[in-house]
Chain A
């Protein structure tokens, strides 16, 4: 008896499209998390200006009974300016793609454009901080390079520097809990680090580094959070600041950004913070063949508390 199989009566159409698209590997966007947010008003010029009052001298010497008044102080302020810049990108999609492709092209291209825009926002902040913040080279490690790999003594030094400069911490403390092997995480500064130093941080477990898995509760932990050392909660990203071949011995240098409140301010533009633009093929010429999808945004950034930020430069242990 002949058996009919797919070899002699195969499916007319061999493939079916899976119901959902796969995710696109995307770095964590960590640089915008600890920034202050300010909006540039419309018709507000090209530049955002920040003012910071300087401290006045505390009057700690008594007046006495002479009736003579001490000299008055002159209040002063520091001024910080940041110029707006405009960014954007686009895709041109022939209508035949929209017409004939099985997948929702306009939907996922829009999604990717939006992610690209947010990624640009993060990269711009990262590169600006790399150019403008003071650098402290790790020297507590043992790899013989300058900078060395990160150590608890290096983190302790930058913690001391920030504390001595009266930087403010982020009040995001995770309360302690009566569970074995856990301890509370205090209000803290942030450290923005590259995933490439995770193994160096793991080597410090038991010496001062607490993994996010050992937090009393992970409900307040951020998705990008890897752990904490001393006064720092550490967020990691694969696109965090680094420069290849830049150390004394030619290793990659990782610029771990340490910062407190208001250290960096991100400025967006009123009415322009993110625009996703779709133009129907109707607008593309006589034969109306091409649709366009685009994103554009305006952004500026400024270090608004220079005493509350630094780059703790490190290399890998090996």
Chain B
């Protein structure tokens, strides 16, 4: 009986120079890619391969044509950007990256002191957002944000910091870091942090700080501390102790849903708490998933792709996974077609 594992496939590069993951039912010890688009263009990385003994992030690389000179080169593990394997099974944050500044804007622009290596859709947590001991943006620390990459050292977060109680960060404040959430959405749908609430007599639109992973028919309720306004969603004005629940009637985007909820009488949502409130202790505003009323596999383009079987839309699902990552230095150009194979050998000496 052989115990080795063999897998192959193809992927289309999502973004130039941005790493991309391939999910497998095993951790490979050998990975090889062939980029047919780069080969046809006679430009760039046409082939790359990796063995586990080379270390995470390493790669042999074959290039051709313009850009890197023709030939074969080696990317060391210490340099990085080659291949790596991953096991997404528990929450974890990546390395700290110094924040050099955050603007007052909607959406806020974060600038890092070095290349952050993040891609649009990555989730981050910001910490130490003090410009002085009493100014800055600590109100938005400890919340997950899905980012939009705008440059090698810049990205935006879906939060309006252009408000009176936020002070722009500059000069690389001590302790101001951004860390990538390495494996977001391991279990979904989960709790979501609210960045804005648009009220109405018939429907209410909730915007979240990261992907909500909800579907039409999902049922949610709220936990919104008083510093954020809209307390009636947590403690209804009628005095009933239980919070309000509502069903999703439309998924507007990865971070926005419309609920069948009359919110015309609730206090406006306040995304502008004070620094003093943050220093005194501030719990984020949250939308909690509590169920669904679907009978079939309702889905949308924003949901994570899991390796589990089909299920009812809105069901609690497990999204743990493993596989390998094609690094930024070998992935190629957006829309490139890349053929890959990955092995886990019986023997390694």
Q: What residues of chain A have their CB less than 8 Å away from a CB belonging to chain B?
A: 46-47, 49-50, 52, 78-85, 92, 123-124, 127-128, 130-140, 144, 146-148, 164-166, 243-250, 253, 283-285, 290, 300-303, 306-307
CB contacts (< 8 Å) of B142 on chain A: these are: 137, 146-147, 246-248, 253
Q: How big is the B interface, by class?
A: 35 or more
CB contacts (< 8 Å) of B92 on chain A: these are: 243
CB contacts (< 8 Å) of A250 on chain B: these are: 96, 127-128, 175, 177
Say yes or no: A139 contacts B281, CB within 8 Å. Answer: yes
CB contacts (< 8 Å) of B223 on chain A: these are: 134, 136
C-alpha gap A301/B186 in the complex (Å): 13
Stretch at the interface among B54-62, B156-164, B315-323: B315-323
Q: With both chains docked as a complex, state the minimum distance between the C-beta of A317 and any C-beta of chain B, in angstroms.
A: 15
Say yes or no: A131 contacts B318, CB within 8 Å. Answer: no
C-alpha gap A140/B280 in the complex (Å): 9
Say yes or no: B282 contacts A249, CB within 8 Å. Answer: no
Besides the known contacts A79-B219, A81-B315, A132-B187, 18 further A-B residue pairs in the complex with CB atoms under 8 A apart: A79-B291, A81-B316, A83-B309, A83-B316, A128-B316, A132-B288, A132-B316, A135-B286, A243-B91, A245-B96, A245-B127, A246-B142, A248-B129, A248-B138, A300-B316, A300-B318, A303-B316, A307-B242
B interface, over-half SS: loop
A interface, over-half SS: mixed
Say yes or no: B190 contacts A138, CB within 8 Å. Answer: no
C-alpha gap A137/B314 in the complex (Å): 27
The digit string for B58-89, where 1 denotes a CB below 8 A from any CB of A, is 00000000000000000000000000000001
Say yes or no: B93 contacts A248, CB within 8 Å. Answer: no
CB contacts (< 8 Å) of A47 on chain B: these are: 311-312, 315
B1-15 residues at the A interface, CB under 8 angstroms: 1-3
A81, A148, A247, most chain B CB atoms within 10 A: A81
Q: With both chains docked as a complex, state the minimum distance between the C-beta of A58 and any C-beta of chain B, in angstroms.
A: 12
Known pairs A83-B315, A83-B317; A146 contacts B282 (CB<8 A): yes
Known pairs A123-B90, A303-B290; A83 contacts B311 (CB<8 A): yes
Say yes or no: A46 contacts B191, CB within 8 Å. Answer: no
CB contacts (< 8 Å) of A131 on chain B: these are: 91, 185-188, 190-191
Listed from nearest, the 3 A-B pairs whose CB atoms lie closest are: A139-B281, A81-B315, A131-B190
